[in-house]
Amino acid sequence: MEIMLGNKSVAGIEQEHGFTFADDEREFLKKYWHPVADFKDGECGWHMFDMPPFLVVSNGEIGRKCLNIFMKHTADFKFMIRGGCGNNKEQADEQGEAKIKEEMK
């Protein structure tokens, strides 16, 4: 069994790896930063463990957008990012779905 520790914030990632996300990427990641890696049914976002470096994203559009942002910056990281996707599907009400689609543009 592997033990994972830490909770890297957007600022912590930028500081440790010496790069900055684009403003729109940073704001999106800040908005959907998940303080714990245990995504309850319907929750969305991302979480990055510090030890070992491991990215967890939610299972849905928001998770994919977060993953795409991180993938754009793989060359900026000082280590290879391993990752996984939560089992529970993101959920949103009709208003929430429209907002998510707008943010995805």
**Does 95 map to a domain?**
no
Q: Is residue 60 part of a domain?
A: yes
Q: Do 47 and 4 meet the contact criterion of CB atoms below 8 Å apart?
A: no
**Residue 104 placed within a domain:** no
pLDDT score for 95: 46
- pLDDT higher for 52 or 30? 30
The total number of structural domains that make up the chain: 1
- pLDDT digit string (tens) for 59-99? 888 888 999 999 899 888 877 767 776 655 666 544 455 55
Predicted model pTM: 0.76
In 3D space, the residue among 7, 13, 5, 11 whose CA is nearest the CA of residue 70 turns out to be 13
The pLDDT value recorded for residue 14 is 93
Chain centre distance of CA 79? 17
Distance CA 88, CA 40 (A): 7
φ/ψ region of 62 (left if φ > 0, alpha if ψ in -120 to 50, else beta) reads alpha
Write out the two tokens for 55. 């990215």
* 25 contacts 76 by C-beta, under 8 angstroms: no
Name the residue range of residue 49's domain: 10-86
